[in-house]
């Protein structure tokens, strides 16, 4: 993988042509492996939605934000049918929209480029006209990283968390949620990039984002 040999999706000053890039995708698809080299390529920071969730949970109670606290207050939900868990994940993503709206709006207002990465990012966010009262004016781009092979997701989890064994249920949920995100991306005109082959995934993500500008 060599993305330093050419600079694409940048203006003449070496800045990204977007102010905010939303890197969407289900758990276990490799977003972290993509987000950090992508951020180094563009020279911008990363905001991880998982950190945002942790902060919001620390600042709210289950009574105030029941959906954001749902997994902690209902641990038995992990045994629900995968399709039901996907619906809960979508509900969490929708509950997080106001927080993401504020972050994106801040970066649009200050014109400070950032990559926002996380499972709970909805591709449809990229179609909004504005965030936190700040016009988007085409400065928000998005891409979905997708792993279509459920067995590969199982392998990804096993490599990342070997002590937990094969997480078949979790991988099934991830596969279904990934399909949901790719469907939403297609409806929103947001590009989807398959995670493999890993050798050129960064270049393919950059090319996909360039095509949305």
User: 42-54: per-residue pLDDT in tens?
Assistant: 999 999 999 999 9
Number of other CB atoms surrounding residue 11 within 10 Å: 9
Average pLDDT value over all residues in the chain = 93
Cα 20 to Cα 118: distance, rounded to the nearest angstrom: 14
Number of domains into which the chain is organized: 1
Cα 52 to Cα 62: distance, rounded to the nearest angstrom: 16
User: pLDDT for 38-87, tens place per residue?
Assistant: 999 999 999 999 999 999 999 999 999 999 999 999 999 999 999 999 99
pTM of the model: 0.92
Q: Tell me if 12 is assigned to some domain.
A: no
Cα 49 to Cα 6: distance, rounded to the nearest angstrom: 29
Cα 23 to Cα 121: distance, rounded to the nearest angstrom: 8
Query: Which residues constitute the domain of residue 193?
Result: 20-210
CATH number at residue 42: 3.40.50.300
Q: Tell me if 81 is assigned to some domain.
A: yes
Contact 167, 157 (CB under 8 A): yes
């Amino acid at each position: 993988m060599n993305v330093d040999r050419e600079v694409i999706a940048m203006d003449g000053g070496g800045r990204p042509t977007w102010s905010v890039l939303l890197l969407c995708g289900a758990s276990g698809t490799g977003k972290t492996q993509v987000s950090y080299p992508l951020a180094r390529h563009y020279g911008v920071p990363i905001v991880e939605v998982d950190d945002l969730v942790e902060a919001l949970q620390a600042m709210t109670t289950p009574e105030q934000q029941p959906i954001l606290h749902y997994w902690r207050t209902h641990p038995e939900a992990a045994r629900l049918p995968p399709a039901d868990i996907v619906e809960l994940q979508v509900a969490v993503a929708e509950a997080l929209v106001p927080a993401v709206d504020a972050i994106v709006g801040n970066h649009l207002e200050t014109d400070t480029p950032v990559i926002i990465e996380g499972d709970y990012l909805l591709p449809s966010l990229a179609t909004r006209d504005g965030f936190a009262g700040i016009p988007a004016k085409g400065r928000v781009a998005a891409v979905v990283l997708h792993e279509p092979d459920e067995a590969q997701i199982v392998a990804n989890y096993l490599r990342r968390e070997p002590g937990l064994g094969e997480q078949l249920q979790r991988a099934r949920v991830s596969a279904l949620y990934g399909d949901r995100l790719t469907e939403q991306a297609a409806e929103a005109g947001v590009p989807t990039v398959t995670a493999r082959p890993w050798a050129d995934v960064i270049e393919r993500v950059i090319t996909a984002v360039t095509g949305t500008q």
